Amino acid sequence: MKLPQLAISNRLFVLTSIVLLIFIGYKSYKSMPRSEDPFLELPKYSIVVVYPGASPEDMEELIVDPIEELVDELDDIEEIKTEITNGLAVIKIDAEFGIDYDEKYDDIVTEIGKIRTDLPPGIIELEINQYKPEDRNVVHQYALVSKDVEFRILYDLAEDFEKQLEKSNVVKKVEIEASPKEEIRISLDFQKMAQLDISLKQVVGVLQSSNANIPGGSLKSGKLTFNIKTSGSFESLDEIRDIAITAKDNQIVYLKNIATVNYDYEDSRWIARYNGQKAIYLSVYQKKGGNILKLSEEIGKKADTFKKSLPKSIKLETPFEQATAVKSRINDFLSNLLQGVFLVGLVVLVFLGWRPASIVVTVIPLSILIAIVLLDFTGYALHQISISSLVIALGLLVDNAIVVVENIIRFKKEGYTISEAAAKGTSEVGYAIISSTITTVLAFAPLALLESGPGAFLRSLPLTVIFVLMGSLLLALVFTPILAQKLIKNKKESKPPVVSKALDGFIENRYSKILTFALRRGWAVLLVGVIILIGSIMLFPKIGVSFFPTADKPMILLNIEQPYSSNINHTDNTLRYIESVLDTTDYVKSYTTNAGHGNPQVYYNRIPEEYKTYHGEVLVNFKDWEQEKFYRTLNAFRKVFSNNPNGKISFRELQNGAPFEAPIEILLIGEDLKTLKKISNDIENIIAKTKGVIDVENPLARAKTDIKVDVNRDKAAIYNVPLLDIDQTVRASLNGLTIDKVKISKEDEDYPVVVRIPFKDRPTINDFSKVSVPNANGDNILLNQLASINFDQDYAKINHYNTDRNTAITANVLNPEATRTVTEQIITELEAYNWPSGYTYHVGGEYESQSESFGDLGTLLLVALILIFAVLVLQFRSIRQPLIIFSAIPLAISGSFIALFITGWSFSFFAFVGLISLVGIVVNNSIILVDYTNQLIKEGHSKIEAITTASKRRFTPIVLTTLTTIVGLLPLTVSGTSLWSPLGWTLIGGMISSTLLTLLIVPLLYKWLTKTKRKL
């Protein structure tokens, strides 16, 4: 290999390149975006339709079915899930990974636009959303809090603060939430209207025509052109009150004669409080690629200034901010990285001395800088995944430098000058370290191609490791020999380190004898290895399987689900009870209460619930993260709230990974709701009886009581009243009908105009007697003459799965690591259930995500093995020798399973990632051993002599590279984080077992499988 000689002869160029790398790397590090977790780009979309007053069946027929039909016809749509409740439909769409996400969003918008005019006119909101982290994840949440200040004042202040925040270059947008919208309410007196023969349709028509602001065109006069203004905007509410509706007996009937017109707030749809006081939120969103630490600093200064301008009755609070956690997390990982660097340097120092250690340690920051530059160039940020990946790669990146330095020292000991030793030592192992680096890269590379939510979450991990390894390989071949020339003495070497001498003694006195025994009694040694492998596999059921762990954050989301007929005030009363408990809990730092809506999205995979009167959510912040205290408090809450008579209270910890509905989710699919309800009751009992299951939720088990307007069709026909007019009148009268938007010039703001009958609070049954309906002759007929009012139980919630009706039974588990085991027990019961014809089930939740992800990882593991084997066949021009090298893999798996069993960690998604990574790592030692044995045979040594010599000479670098990999991982592994510790122990256990057995079994298999007279 000529590259080391070229580098030595062009050392000035190499050193100049290193200085330039340091400068560029530092600049990249300072400018790189920082966040707690990766920004997940997922092909997820949602369509939210709000149609107040509509029953789930009406929502399904009039809105959901036509929308789903269009979406289902689009290409690349993988899954459609719809939840339909009173006046609300949420259609969640999952497309296939790898498509153009923005283009698919445009397709959905275009298709919905085609039928928008065919949908009911009473829809007050139709939103089509694309899952973009910068649009969804709140990085900073403020709350304007007051006991008694009006919302109008709070909203005006919020708008002022919003404008100040949006001036920052790092802020994408600021949303004001949980503030009731102000509207112009026209409360019609239906009795007066009946006396004057004025119909609702007539009033609505006049109001809409009066608000039509049609440009009058232009008029030319001489050299000038004048624009003609017509009616224009309203100046005040008095102008609206003075709108002429009709004329009776030569007298004009104005709107003020039959209605009261004033400003009012919309009916409460989202009630928010902070620590028990009325609040509205300002949610701050970060620009993609922004630095959250910089954002926090900038908006923090603006918040301090804004606070000083507030009256004493109003406070600006911070229910949530992400920057502190990001800074702490990054500092922890950087600390792990520095600890790892120190430990790696210490190991090399102890074994090789301070001069070789200086060479190896110098390579570490340079390799990391190369990775940082490439990460920055490819658009990735510094977060827990990328920084932890640097820690994982730490022990690997020094392997090449150690092998090169150790070989240079060996040639130096044999009498070569340092220049000759540097060139010859690097060249001799050059192809071996290139091959071993490629095999490691090939183990990590398929992980970067994982097309799924978990794949998007961890994509920066394999890329970071690959960037580090390629950088370390380049430095080992071109920079390490140059440093060796300068730092390793040219004269006779001084005494080697004590540990190095001891290791040499162990090799000669102990390892040589053990190796000789292994070569003579090969079947016995192989049998021991097989027994260890079988034993470790038998441990696997006791290890258990899990998916993504909890996020270990000092906060929790507390959900309340009331009976479906509950109004928002009843839900709020239950939340006030919860607040009273939180107020007396010392460990609670603060809490944010939300009735009718979920808390703004403060974690990347927790999407809040949309408007539901029966739903409430509390974001609880604890004072710090103490695992024991956290779970003790959580269990205490469960006991206190377990017997709440007003609804179900459940708890959701924040969890890493891609989003899913619930840990356990069983979809029951079928057409008839009555049959589905019966089945759902049976399945609910099955799930509830399963050990370890909590918070079982069955939507069809909770009935909803509605008021049904039962129209007498015969009477309607006699009075000549169309059924459509009855439906529209009932809706407009009791729920209010938004007929237009009005711009008041003095206010410079658009207000929705809402028409309905007058009532102080919510309408009551008695209000139906005030409603009248016009017939075809213009006469007003009282509604109670045409219809009877009855109570009727109905289904509160209808779900669709890929356009089919279904219901979803969800549940949590006491032990998150047992989710798969518990789900499999439930599946066993489901298989034994007597399903009616046409009805079936689908398992969703964590089980589905885990099965898909583990299946993908299994495929990637197979791909990695094939690629590595192909590279080895090309390198060694043999089938047998790659098989010898591959013997390290089952030996490594044994150690991984044993390590997980001893430490008590389950086989999680990241443990699986560690196992795939291990495949590329553990074969490196075998490659170096087999390659050097081949060289010795080529030089004329006998097979046994070559095996023995190669094993003894490569013992030190193999042990040393294993030790550096292990100690580099130790700080991250022993930190006890549920995300990284399983991965770390998987690698450490596999490295230990693989190294111990590789030094015996690989020489043995080489003896058995390599022909003595073949030309290598």
Helix (H, G, I), strand (E, B) or coil at 43: coil
Token pair of 912 as six digits = 């699986």
Contacts of 990 (CB under 8 A, 6+ apart): 892, 893, 895, 896, 899, 914, 915, 918, 921, 922
| pLDDT value of residue 228 | 39
DSSP 263: E
Token pair of 861 as six digits = 């593991």
**Cβ proximity of 619 and 579 under 8 Å:** no
Q: Which helix (H) or strand (E) holds 221?
A: strand 218-221
| pLDDT value of residue 759 | 62
**Cβ proximity of 453 and 659 under 8 Å:** yes
| pLDDT value of residue 1012 | 59
Q: CA-CA distance, 448 to 451, in Å (whole number)? A: 8
> What average pLDDT does range 104-108 have in this prediction?
91
Q: Which residue has the tokens 């839900």?
A: 571
Q: How confident is the model at residue 223 (pLDDT cuts 50, 70, 90)?
A: very low
Q: Which helix (H) or strand (E) holds 697?
A: strand 693-697
Q: What is the sign, positive or negative, of the torsion defined by CA atoms of 404, 406, 412, 417? A: positive
Model confidence at 150: pLDDT above 60:
yes
DSSP 881-921: HHHHHHTHHHHHHHHHHHHHHHHT--B-HHHHHHHHHHHHH
Helix (H, G, I), strand (E, B) or coil at 749: strand
Token pair of 4 as six digits = 């080391």
Q: Which range, 126-140, 199-213, 504-518, has the best average confidence (pLDDT)?
A: 504-518
| pLDDT value of residue 761 | 56
Per-chain mean pLDDT for the chain: 84
| pLDDT value of residue 1013 | 52
Token pair of 937 as six digits = 């045979």
Q: CA-CA distance, 327 to 30, in Å (whole number)? A: 14
> What average pLDDT does range 634-653 have in this prediction?
83
| pLDDT value of residue 591 | 95
Q: What is the sign, positive or negative, of the torsion defined by CA atoms of 993, 996, 997, 1003? A: positive
Task: Tell me the C-alpha to C-alpha distance, in Å, between residue 717 and each of 194, 341, 814.
Answer: 20, 87, 60
What are 754's strand-pairing partners?
Answer: 185, 738
> What average pLDDT does range 533-552 have in this prediction?
86
> What average pLDDT does range 546-558 have in this prediction?
84
Helix (H, G, I), strand (E, B) or coil at 470: helix
> What average pLDDT does range 197-205 have in this prediction?
79
Model confidence at 736: pLDDT above 80:
no
375 Cα distance to chain centroid: 20
Query: Alpha helix locations (H) across 740-844?
Result: 819-832
Q: CA-CA distance, 60 to 861, in Å (whole number)? A: 44
Model confidence at 80: pLDDT above 80:
yes
Q: How many CB atoms lie within 10 A of CB 874?
A: 11
Q: Which helix (H) or strand (E) holds 498?
A: helix 498-506
Closest CA to 77 of 564, 994, 803: 803
Helix (H, G, I), strand (E, B) or coil at 997: helix
Share of the chain above pLDDT 70, in %: 92
| pLDDT value of residue 538 | 93
**Cβ proximity of 595 and 568 under 8 Å:** yes
Answer with the residue of higher pLDDT: 399 or 743. 399
Contacts of 794 (CB under 8 A, 6+ apart): 55, 56, 57, 703, 704, 705, 706
Position 452, amino acid: S
Model confidence at 232: pLDDT above 60:
no
Q: How confident is the model at residue 225 (pLDDT cuts 50, 70, 90)?
A: very low
Model confidence at 229: pLDDT above 60:
no
Model confidence at 276: pLDDT above 70:
yes
What are 740's strand-pairing partners?
Answer: 753
What are 213's strand-pairing partners?
Answer: none
Q: Which residue has the tokens 């007050």?
A: 124
Q: How many CB atoms lie within 10 A of CB 289?
A: 14
Model confidence at 231: pLDDT above 80:
no
Per-residue model confidence as pLDDT tens digits over 772-819: 777 767 677 777 788 877 776 667 778 898 999 988 898 888 887 788
| Angle, alpha carbons 425-429-435 (nearest 5°) | 160
Answer with the residue of higher pLDDT: 747 or 694. 694
**Cβ proximity of 457 and 659 under 8 Å:** no
Range name among 86-90, 549-553, 678-682 with the lowest pLDDT average: 549-553
Q: CA-CA distance, 900 to 309, in Å (whole number)? A: 57
Model confidence at 358: pLDDT above 50:
yes
Helix (H, G, I), strand (E, B) or coil at 77: strand
